[in-house]
Structure 1
Amino acid sequence: MTSHTSAPLAAIAIRQVEKNTGASRVALGQIEALRQLGYQVVILAEKGDAERVAQAGAQLKKLWRWPFKGAFRRFWFNRRVQAWCQRHHPQLLVSHGDVVSPDVVFLHNCVHLAQSRIHGTHLPPHHEVAAMHDFILNSPNQATIAVNSKMMGDELQQRYQIPATRIKVNYPGYDAAQFNLDTAQQLREPQREQLGLLPHQQLVGLITSGNFKKRNVDGFIRIASEVVKQAADADKIRFLVVGKDDAAPYQKQCEEAGLQQHFIWLTPQNNVEALYAALDLFVLPAHIEEFGCVALEAMACGTPVLLSSWVGASEILKNHDSSLVLSDDNEQQWASRINDILNTPTRVAQGHALATLATQYSHQHQYDKLKALFQSLINH
């Protein structure tokens, strides 16, 4: 790379920055924060959208990708990044969990904990993501480890004996222009009509990008069965599941439970804010969710939420209203709490209070915190 500026160089290493994933959005957001601090920024990736990266204000440098799957592919990427850094000497190397960095590593998932929580087993010895994370987190340097939630930070402290002083909780933010009370109030009735809901019916929803096993959709169906049993008027309650996954086994579970008429199934929608608006209650009984931007987005739309204690976003709620956070495995308790929320006369006010709480975690607020984190690394 030939520099045309005297500005210091920062490199962001992430294997892919082309899809609309949470990690890609975070990496693209980091470009602006680094540029505001005076850096020229290069994205080091195996796959990437050069135009999108350029629009964000950085240069994309594609590194040759090892063609075969497995742990070695990730270690190969790390080698290529280290070789590039030896040639170009960036003053700051930002890793997204795929390379060793002496400065900062942003981790987006806890693969060991997820395997235990979802499947009750340990990962195989050569699992590619786990092997790379183990390599990075057992490295002898003193890099800052940025995590999505305190839950993630606690897991890393326990598993890798990383001092708490090295771990920084960096909650993802949400787009306040897309997710807000005014927009939700305008979209609510049209979206409910589109879903075929009658005015008196109440909608409880689990909205996610996918991976129904991780998000405990089967548990959600069992909870729904209990809700219907406990409800004074079960006919008025409907349930919505949104996500990209094979819904067939879950739909069969609904049929076997006699719930098919209560459920609506959708694949991910571009106007997800309209779906949040249509809900009377958002629930996420996930076995584990390192943060859960969907919960924050729902809150911003003024929709009451009920979250598993294994959802990172629940940390935002614990000091606000701990009754909105439950253990993921007590289905009767979930059903009772859902019916209580649906029937409380203060439900709308509760949603508005959550919308106010969510504003503290908008993209702008989190961007300011990200800049402060990078500034602390520069000053270190």
Structure 2
Amino acid sequence: MKIALVHMRHSDTGGTELFLNEMARYLAEKGEEVTIICRTHVAPPHPDVSFVTLKGLSLGKAHRIWKFARQVERHLADTHYDFVYGLGKTWSNDMLRIGGGTHLHFVQSMKHGKLTLKDKVAIAIERRAMSPGAYRHIVANSFKSAREVREAYGVPEDKISVIHNFVDTGRFSRERVQEQAAVLEDRLALDRNQPVFLFLGSGYERKGLRQALTAFARLDFPATLLIAGRESNEAAFKALAAELGVRERCRFLGPQKHPEVLFSVADCYVLPTHYEPFGFTVIEALSCGIPVVTTENCGAKEVLNPDVSTVVGEGVDPEEIYSAMVYWAERRGDRGLATACRALALTLDVNEVMERNYQQILTVYEQKKD
């Protein structure tokens, strides 16, 4: 089968990009003919994966995403593919994956309905992609995302499947990165007699770092908070940490290429997010054997249980986060806990989840032929 996977950006970083790479690899290993249609790309995830690059002059971000969607439409009109799997911001798909919730809900949640031109264009594309007749099936990465799709665009329930995100349990393994973790511990001068908490995410405000710092400042025992990820206003959060009196106990590490090493030096992962359709990092942390503190706003809560996590309310109350941090700090070093975390992650191993996606492709393809 000749399959096109469509996403504007092909890269080694980013949640949707991670899915794109793993899906392309898996389909190629199954013997399918895989083409990634994109605007920019890096090296292919498998030698048999090819690229179609649709790139041209654009005037700003809003025009760029609209132009790419139009270019995809024209390319598909001129080129035959047996199946087209879109990963967002295009309207020409047999099957569409919603990996980041709807843009409409994102704007309502994080921007209080204040629309930029880029937001307006993204919502217009989204509305067109999910209009009746524009798709055969939609895959959501969480029941939270599926609910948003139904609420925003009236997509029938029988046209949506939920396939949760995955984790590469081979890569995210504490045992595999023991040596690198020891090197990082030495470089950061971590005291292994003290709990180490980790916050990891791009966009610190949305991911809840303000509340995490406030909760961390309440701890009445020595501890370290590692803070990693992309943030354009990192200085403001460093200032907040100083204002709260915990700057010396926080390590701001910036973007990291090897998060599995960070998870493997931490005792607990803290992601008190305000909006997160799923959250790859939640199950990556579990795969490395550490418990998670997150919120009702995180789609990954759907795969969690109280034995390995604490899910605080959607209001992201620092008091609740503080209580959870105390609880998990008291259980640090518990090998039974580490085993339970890892066992849950194994149920979401990358190849199992890719197989579910592959079977969904085959099902929809049979419907398309009929």
Answer yes or no: same fold by TM over 0.5.
Answer: yes
Q: Residues of 2 paired with 1:367 and 1:130: CA distance?
A: 28
Counterpart in the other structure of 1:3: none
C-alpha contact 2:128 2:134 (8 A) present in aligned 1: no
From the superposition, tell whether residues 126 and 263 of structure 1 become closer, same or farther in structure 2 (CA, over 3 Å): closer
Matched to 1:152, the amino acid is: S
TM-score, normalising length from structure 1?
Answer: 0.87
C-alpha contact 1:284 1:308 (8 A) present in aligned 2: yes
Choose 33-42 or 215-224, whichever is displaced more.
33-42
Matched to 2:295, the amino acid is: S
C-alpha contact 1:204 1:237 (8 A) present in aligned 2: yes
Q: Residues of 1 paired with 2:3 and 2:203: CA distance?
A: 34
Q: Residues of 1 paired with 2:45 and 2:211: CA distance?
A: 43
Matched to 1:355, the amino acid is: R
Alignment counterpart, residue 68 of structure 1, candidates 45, 59, 70: 59
Counterpart in the other structure of 1:315: 302
Alignment counterpart, residue 91 of structure 2, candidates 80, 100, 113: 100
Counterpart in the other structure of 1:169: 162
Structure 2 gaps of 5+ residues are none
C-alpha contact 1:341 1:347 (8 A) present in aligned 2: no
C-alpha contact 1:34 1:374 (8 A) present in aligned 2: no
From the superposition, tell whether residues 321 and 159 of structure 1 become closer, same or farther in structure 2 (CA, over 3 Å): farther
Q: SS state of the match for residue 204, structure 1?
A: strand
Choose 9-18 or 236-245, whichever is displaced more.
9-18
Q: Residues of 2 paired with 1:322 and 1:151: CA distance?
A: 21
Q: Residues of 2 paired with 1:345 and 1:177: CA distance?
A: 23
Choose 105-114 or 66-75, whichever is displaced more.
66-75
Choose 142-151 or 216-225, whichever is displaced more.
142-151
Q: Residues of 2 paired with 1:70 and 1:39: CA distance?
A: 33
Matched to 1:107, the amino acid is: I
C-alpha contact 1:172 1:293 (8 A) present in aligned 2: yes
Q: Residues of 2 paired with 1:242 and 1:179: CA distance?
A: 17
Structure 1 gaps of 5+ residues are 1-7
Q: Deviations over 1:315-361 (max 9, x none)?
A: 1104x548621114221111112112211378442232011110111
Counterpart in the other structure of 2:5: 12
From the superposition, tell whether residues 65 and 174 of structure 1 become closer, same or farther in structure 2 (CA, over 3 Å): same
C-alpha contact 1:281 1:305 (8 A) present in aligned 2: yes
Q: SS state of the match for residue 44, structure 2?
A: helix
How far did 1:182 drift? 2.0
Q: Residues of 1 paired with 2:192 and 2:7: CA distance?
A: 47
Counterpart in the other structure of 1:81: 72
From the superposition, tell whether residues 29 and 199 of structure 1 become closer, same or farther in structure 2 (CA, over 3 Å): closer
Matched to 1:115, the amino acid is: V
Q: Residues of 2 paired with 1:148 and 1:48: CA distance?
A: 23
How far did 1:215 drift? 0.6
Counterpart in the other structure of 1:358: 345
Identity rate, percent: 18
Matched to 1:213, the amino acid is: E
Counterpart in the other structure of 1:4: none
How far did 1:188 drift? 4.7
Q: Residues of 2 paired with 1:351 and 1:237: CA distance?
A: 20
How far did 1:186 drift? 5.3
C-alpha contact 1:292 1:312 (8 A) present in aligned 2: yes
Q: SS state of the match for residue 155, structure 2?
A: coil
Counterpart in the other structure of 2:14: 21
Matched, 1:217 2:203: no
Matched to 1:252, the amino acid is: A
Matched to 2:170, the amino acid is: A
Counterpart in the other structure of 1:201: 194
Q: Residues of 2 paired with 1:292 and 1:324: CA distance?
A: 15
How far did 1:159 drift? 1.2
Q: SS state of the match for residue 332, structure 1?
A: helix
Q: Residues of 2 paired with 1:244 and 1:102: CA distance?
A: 31
How far did 1:303 drift? 0.9
How far did 1:375 drift? 1.4
Counterpart in the other structure of 1:237: 223
From the superposition, tell whether residues 79 and 188 of structure 1 become closer, same or farther in structure 2 (CA, over 3 Å): closer
From the superposition, tell whether residues 135 and 256 of structure 1 become closer, same or farther in structure 2 (CA, over 3 Å): same
C-alpha contact 2:104 2:152 (8 A) present in aligned 1: no
TM-score, normalising length from structure 2?
Answer: 0.89
